[in-house]
Amino acid sequence: MRRRLPAAFSTPPLLDHEVRPRNRRRCSALLINPFYPKDPVASFGKHVLTPSLALTSIAGATPSHWEVRYWDENLLQGPPPWNPFPEVVGITVHLTFAERAYELARWYRRWGAKVILGGLHVQSCPDEAAEHADAIAIGEGTQLWPRILADVERGRLQPIYRGSYRQPYADDPRPRRNLLPRESFLTTTSVIATRGCHNRCGFCYLATDSLHMPYQMRHPEQVAAEMLDDDQPYAVFIDNNLGSRPEYLRQLCLALRPIEKIWSAAVTIDVTDDPSLVREMALAGCTGVFVGFESLNEPSLAATRKRTPPPDDYARRVRILHDHGIQVNGSFVLGFDHDRPDVFERTVRWVEEQRLECATFHILTPYPGTPLFRQLESEGRLLHRDWNRYDTAHVVFQPRHMSPEALQAGYAECYRRLFSHRSIWRRRPSDPSAVLPYLAMSYLYKRSNWLWSLLIRTRLTARAWRPLVEITRRRHVHFRKRLGAAAPARRAASVVTSGV
């Protein structure tokens, strides 16, 4: 049975339909990240780890004579502000909160604001989004935003703006992180160094028909400077796959090594093809990776068209990461056509046996415009098109080898077991000095859902996390020194034994 959600995490803040906004301000823009209901079986804390990089990047592209504000409804501070009333409202739209985005758009348009919609769902369903906006932005928003605002000033706003992902990404302006309430996030340093991925998995939004995103890389020194400027101890790379180009990742690590920050990133498990690259990641401050294992079933992986090592080699590769002090958050998709009811027990048991510090589970979800959506639609297996439930936490299609109810229950059971006292303890690190920080992090992240509403409302997120982050950073700085000293010692031993 699914747990009940507190109202703060299930219901968006009410919009006041009686108010009559005054004090309209020319050349002012409001950027909104809409509310979305949280998954009752997952951690509520994950929603305040990092802010929306898309919106802070749009803010960075705003002309200097425009005033710009940022509002994230998921920080539980109420509905977006309306006094002073903005001339332009930019709203990012994702599949799972499209309905809320459209509600906000109606409210602001009613009182005369020009509403611009952009984001992944606009890319996938432009005709739907266009009905709710004065203009929609398809493609790279930072290129389009200055043009849109200039057209607003001239009174010549166009209904559709299209940007290309082929223009040099390194030329984009820096995000405006000074707009963020820093105390509301684990870290405000969400960074992107590369764009795109060498995989094109059939269920991933990157496989959307209308999305053509060639792989691009920013200069490593540019990334390091951005991390330094935000003055946070911890950064999160939100790249789809930071390890798509191993040689670039090596160069990036060399640039990050001197700044003594810690960071985490999403990579595929083939980053361990070269253990020396994993060593460079550790020396550069990498303390954790998010790895899309997707499945332990090889036929399932083949069906997704994902290029990955065989699952029976995953355990060895996880050990390589652990040996270098890098924690692993494994991501698993449940409900592939080759999955049977035993997939839940097998997956969680493997997570525990490999001592993965964390795991994230997703119900297979067919995003509109992807090959998976077309397949399930043609087979008549879509249960509905309620986009609010296309959030990887609800079953929206008919699985092949189990009922929708069995898949839903199995998904919930995976999280219940992973968040249990027993599982947290079984997956503790082998390094005794890392056990207490691991336990503190695990209990705050996985077993404190009852507390997160208070932490988020009172803006205590940073205060709760930062001491643990700083302990981790200091431990890793010492670990890097030992790791760096070990290599010359090994080389010297090799010289002695070879008799040279």
* pLDDT (0 to 100) of residue 475: 87
Per the CB < 8 A criterion, the answer to whether 147 and 155 are in contact is: no
pLDDT(270) > 80: yes
**What are the pLDDT digits (tens) for 281-307?**
999 999 999 999 999 999 998 888 778
Per the CB < 8 A criterion, the answer to whether 278 and 324 are in contact is: yes
Residues 148 and 201 in one domain: no
Residue 181 counted as domain residue: no
Residue 452 counted as domain residue: yes
Residues 212 and 129 in one domain: no
* pLDDT (0 to 100) of residue 202: 58
pLDDT(188) > 70: yes
Of the listed ranges 98-102, 110-114, 195-199, 254-258, the least confidently predicted one is: 195-199
pLDDT > 70: percent of the chain: 92
pLDDT(486) > 90: no
- The CA distances from residue 306 to 275, 281, 293, in Å, are 22, 24, 10
**What are the pLDDT digits (tens) for 104-161?**
999 999 999 999 999 989 988 999 999 999 999 998 889 899 999 999 999 999 999 9
Residues 334 and 205 in one domain: yes
Task: Name the nearest CA neighbour of 125 among 365, 370, 379, 362.
Answer: 370
- Which amino acid would we find at residue 89? V
Per the CB < 8 A criterion, the answer to whether 365 and 387 are in contact is: no
| Phi and psi at residue 71, to the nearest 5° | -140, 125
**pLDDT confidence band for 444 (50 / 70 / 90):** very high
Task: Name the nearest CA neighbour of 44 among 474, 464, 482, 467.
Answer: 464
Residue 183 counted as domain residue: no
- The CA distances from residue 109 to 72, 85, 155, 279, in Å, are 19, 11, 16, 53
Residue 498 counted as domain residue: no
Residue 171 counted as domain residue: no
pLDDT(261) > 60: yes
The CATH number of residue 66's host domain is 3.40.50
Residues 158 and 196 in one domain: no
* pLDDT (0 to 100) of residue 140: 84
* pLDDT (0 to 100) of residue 124: 86
Give the span between the Cα atoms of 380 and 79, in whole angstroms: 39
Residue 282 counted as domain residue: yes
Range of the domain at 56: 7-162
Give the span between the Cα atoms of 470 and 261, in whole angstroms: 10
Q: Which residues sit opposite 184 in a β-bridge? A: none
Residues 54 and 202 in one domain: no
Residue 182 counted as domain residue: no
* pLDDT (0 to 100) of residue 497: 38
* pLDDT (0 to 100) of residue 499: 40
The CATH number of residue 463's host domain is 3.80.30.20
* pLDDT (0 to 100) of residue 485: 76
Give the span between the Cα atoms of 208 and 191, in whole angstroms: 23
Q: Which residues contact 483 (CB under 8 A, 6 or more apart)?
A: 279, 282, 283, 324, 325
Task: Name the pairing type of β-strands 194-195 and 216-217.
Answer: antiparallel
101 vs 6, higher pLDDT: 101
Mean pLDDT in residue range 245-256:
96
Q: How many CB atoms lie within 10 A of CB 284?
A: 23
Give the span between the Cα atoms of 433 and 156, in whole angstroms: 62
Residue written as tokens 């449940």?
334
- Nearest 5°: CA angle at 270, between 267 and 274? 110
Residues 358 and 232 in one domain: yes
Residues 116 and 245 in one domain: no
**pLDDT confidence band for 335 (50 / 70 / 90):** very high
Residue 335 counted as domain residue: yes
Residues 275 and 391 in one domain: yes
Give the span between the Cα atoms of 290 and 266, in whole angstroms: 4
Residues 151 and 98 in one domain: yes
Task: Name the nearest CA neighbour of 33 among 214, 181, 229.
Answer: 181
Task: Name the nearest CA neighbour of 191 among 56, 37, 84.
Answer: 56
Based on the structure, what is the number of domains in the chain? 2
**What are the pLDDT digits (tens) for 25-40?**
999 999 999 999 999 9
Residues 155 and 199 in one domain: no
Residues 88 and 213 in one domain: no
Mean pLDDT in residue range 482-500:
52
Residues 332 and 374 in one domain: yes
Structure tokens at 158: 């166009």
* pLDDT (0 to 100) of residue 496: 35
Give the span between the Cα atoms of 41 and 163, in whole angstroms: 38
Cis ω for the linkage preceding 84 (within 30 of 0): yes
